[in-house]
Structure 1
């Protein structure tokens, strides 16, 4: 009785699968996050923007409606986040190419640098220039406002100097020295207005604290390649650096410890930004991703919590800059030829969706619908009500499990007809199914019983299968052991049948050929290994 209960407990109501899986089968199913990023599309009535020259910088306003500014040629263009059309152009004070742009925390002022070595401050609404900060002897590549401080900003340039400015008086408060090559990027700390970072072509990222400015940078991190961009992650304790074809995550609180290196780009990574994904209140609310763009034309989305690439998108031009709106609705990418790829994600507004019945009797002028007769248990429709209703977003859905279609050998296994299941799998000529059935029979301790009960024709099917697939690497260890047992158990039947002898001869020939191939490979490895060791020493 106990054995019968054990048999029933292992009965399969679903298809058996082989334990040994080939590594070449890669799932191509599109993940939910990949669908999320593909939902950022350019509206049909908005063509791809083509500006005058390379788009070197993109900055989103911190406050709603989150307009964004881009630098190209000797111009700063401000785009509306609602229409995605240009709403303002600033070009009059620039004497050379604009390189970097940054909004103040209240989005009322805008600062931008240029190749002439100046930092310009504008009023966003009137577009009037308010301040011009002179002090850099070489082109300015970095301009940033602190997260909340409205009176100061910092800048960096090709003179390898980082400057901290008092905007109201147009004076520089600190000259921050330490870099030995061009300063090309930087970012302000999200948790302290006194701290910021800068990246340079001397391969280093320096962390500055203006409260201890006299002692130089408070931390130095070596990226290993010229640093093209560096950003703080939202927690303020981690930073991401881009240089060469790699993006690296560093723990600033832990003393500048390297946490992870992402090397999925083929060319230089030019720009980074942080994007918040998911719906407010949903499962993915407040999750952040790093967006990186490169000269290879790819935009990569990196989940730095799990250290994996979650999405990749190809564009036809080398990419120089990327920006993502704080509300997660707009993604902007700038290219080397002046093309601006603007993607907008549609967000459903549940407050605008009303049914006609919501307005009945409220004086809206909508006529009352004819009243339907109330359903009662005596009506047939009472027991079918609601079956065609579509679920709303707030409904919890319980999906019916899909009915599994069982193959013939799976049906026979479910009925404990073990020998018939093995023969059915052998006739199916699918090696994956045959191996899966054999492994299931091993688990049930019935495989050798089935082999002993096979007639001559069925034994020929089994020996033919072993001859064809015993030398395959993914099945060799299992099938070779089975082949030895089959030969030992059915030796008399094999001697009495010329057909079975032929299968054994073929199996022996294939095994000997596989052994010769393996020996040849080992000889080649013995020749190459010393050469590789010598080359490594040089």
Structure 2
């Protein structure tokens, strides 16, 4: 015996949104683990070597800024509110290795110099200073900025190149062999954060709502990325330096392709993003969030769950080998496989039993009719095909007809549903045409009549508009020579549509009152 064929609801269902491979990749993180901090998060850095420790520096209350690991992952460098730069061996019993004193303002960003035993500090005293690590002496000072310096990095390929970003809206490139800057770029906003590409030839600078990519070799602006609507606070590389991450006060972290500078994915957060760090291989994403006068640290680990492969029997591969282990077939025996019956929805079970009235009542329930109207319309289509629509509609009282009218009024304007719903309305009028003495039903019928008339008016306007468009497509020269006529015609059409829709809006309150009563 063949099984009952399920009602086809796919033809009316909305197409699922396209999900790119980039979105799937960046959504593959587990639910975040959140840690409360009692001060705002200033900077997050992830150790480049295993076990990938995470350094979080937390603003003025703790007096530490810009904590950063060196390339070996053995020492940690940080700035401070007291104008000092401190070098730590965080695994030692005596962690403080060196303290560099000389700045006259808080030091918000620090970095290690490539290929040399030197460190650099970027301070609110408008200066950038190079320090010798073994002696603790200041080697060089650059002082051309005119405001606080809150961003700075060193080149990963050159031992003499230092880059700083200031609240004076400029990004400057310094050569340690010279006392003045060798290049200046205009950001157009206070510079909050900087990144230098691994090649050492490009700079990513963030200020305001824009990220600007500057070419050091050519001395020019390459690209401007503007996807945030509030100030950008942090930048970081990901996916083996093929992706750029940006965090902002608009509570988003956005992912860009570094070759095309196109937006690939956007991640939402419950609070403004102040800093972010990501472990090698994108295994862990760490974000620092602003929560009033304190901070939150969000840890998200990449999901490693694997879906077990399921056999036709519903058993995993590890269990399948035990099935029929003790069964030995003799020559001539036949093995009968078990065929599971498909699980039917409640309305399909009622259709199979020819309970048409109950089937229609089921799909008119609030949960189905509101959340999945395409299912309700598909069942109506099936009732029409089976010749059972009149049976399903007949014999209903006022309480049974109100959900049907409510569904028709709400979904009649949908062009996908309209052919089916028109037939339902015709059958409904044939059965109850002389029985609308009830005030509630009469009010609903009048409202449904207005919906139909409104749709007819919109259809007429659409037909006229189609004719106008076709006319002007066939006469391009006339269109160019009389733009005023086109504007006037479009304006008249807009006014006609607007008046009709305003009329619909005015009647909504009356409709709600009738339905509620």
Partner of 1:272, secondary structure, is: strand
CA shift for structure 1 position 520: 6.7
Q: Residues 107-158 of structure 1, C-alpha deviation per residue, up to 9 Å, x if partnerless?
A: 11111111110001111212611111001001101111134x3621111100
Matched, 1:72 2:58: yes
1:128–1:294 CA distance, 2 compared to 1 (3 A): same
Answering whether residue 38 of structure 2 is matched by residue 52 of structure 1, we say yes
Cross-structure match for 1:138: 105
Q: Which residue of 1 aligns with 2:21?
A: 32
Counterpart Cα distance in 2 of 1:334 and 1:465? 52
Pick from 62, 67, 77 the counterpart of residue 111 of structure 1: 77
Q: How does 1:310-459 map to 2 (within 5 A)?
A: 310-336=264-290, 337-347=294-304
8 Å Cα contact 1:100/1:141 also seen in 2: yes
CA distance in 1, matches of 2:459, 2:486: 14
Q: 1:306 aligns with which of 260, 263, 266?
A: 260
Preserved contact between residue 246 and residue 254 of structure 2 (Cα < 8 Å): yes
Q: Which residue of 1 aligns with 2:146?
A: 180
Contact kept in structure 2, 1:471 and 1:514, CA below 8 Å: no
Q: Deviations over 1:84-116 (max 9, x none)?
A: xxxxxxxxxxxx611111111111111111111
CA gap 1:516/1:380 in 2 versus in 1, 3 angstroms? farther
Matched, 1:267 2:226: no
- Structure 1 contact 470–480 (Cα < 8 Å) conserved: no
Asked if structure 1 preserves the Cα contact closer than 8 Å seen for 2:116 and 2:159, the reply is: no
Instruction: Tell me the alpha carbon deviations over residues 426-471 of structure 1, each in whole angstroms, 9 at most, x when there is no partner.
Output: xxx969xxxxxxxxxxxxxxxxxxxxxxxxxxxxxxxx99955343
* Structure 1 position 471 matched with structure 2 position 490: no
What secondary structure is seen at the aligned counterpart in 2 of 1:49? strand
Distance in 1, matches of 2:491 and 2:302, equals: 59
Distance 2:326 2:162 in 1: 67
Distance 1:472 1:248, change over 3 A: farther
Displacement after TM superposition at 1:514 (Å): 8.7
Question: 2:191 corresponds to which residue?
Answer: 227
Aligned-residue RMSD, C-alpha: 4.4
TM-score using structure 2 length: 0.58
* Count of residues in correspondence between the two structures: 350
Secondary structure of the residue aligned to 2:470 is helix
Distance 1:348 1:193, change over 3 A: farther
User: Shift in Å at residue 30 of structure 1?
Assistant: 2.1
CA distance in structure 1 between the aligned counterparts of 2:193 and 2:108, rounded to whole angstroms: 11
- Choose which of 18, 27, 48 in structure 2 pairs with 1:62: 48
Contact in 1 for aligned 2:198/2:241 (Cα 8 Å): no
Distance 1:477 1:244, change over 3 A: same
Q: How far does the alpha carbon of each residue in 1:153-206 deviate from its partner, in whole angstroms, 9 at most, with x for none? A: 111100010001111111111112221111111112222232221100111111
Distance 1:104 1:37 in 2: 27
Hey, what's the Cα distance between the residues in 2 that align with 1:518 and 1:292?
A: 42
- Mapped to 2, the partners of 1:105 and 1:218 lie a distance apart of 26
- 1:517 partnered with 2:517: no
1:237 aligns with 201
CA distance in 1, matches of 2:260, 2:210: 17
Structure-to-structure mapping, 1:153-168, within 5 angstroms: 153-168=119-134
Q: 1-side partners of 2:216 and 2:258: how far apart? A: 15
Give the secondary-structure state (helix, strand or coil) at the position aligned to 1:64: coil
Distance verdict in 2 for CA 1:472–1:207, change over 3 Å: same
Residue 69 of structure 1, CA deviation: 0.2
Change (3 A) 1:471 1:144: farther
Q: 1:250 aligns with which of 193, 214, 225?
A: 214
Change (3 A) 1:31 1:115: same
Q: CA deviation at 1:218?
A: 1.6
Structure 2 CA distance, aligned partners of 1:28 and 1:476? 33
Structure 1 unmatched ranges of 5 or more: 1-24, 76-95, 277-285, 350-354, 358-367, 382-428, 432-463, 483-512, 523-538
Change (3 A) 1:170 1:206: same
- Work out the CA distance in 2 between the residues paired with 1:480 and 1:145: 66
Separation in 1, partners of 2:297, 2:123: 25
In structure 1, distance between residues paired with 2:333 and 2:236: 61
Q: Is the 8 A contact 1:145 1:188 kept in 2?
A: yes
1:321 Cα deviation after fit = 0.7
The SS at the match of 2:465 is: coil
1:198–1:26 CA distance, 2 compared to 1 (3 A): farther
- Whether the 8 Å contact between 2:60 and 2:81 is mirrored in structure 1 is no
Report how far residue 343 of structure 1 moved.
1.1
Aligned counterpart, 2:157: 191
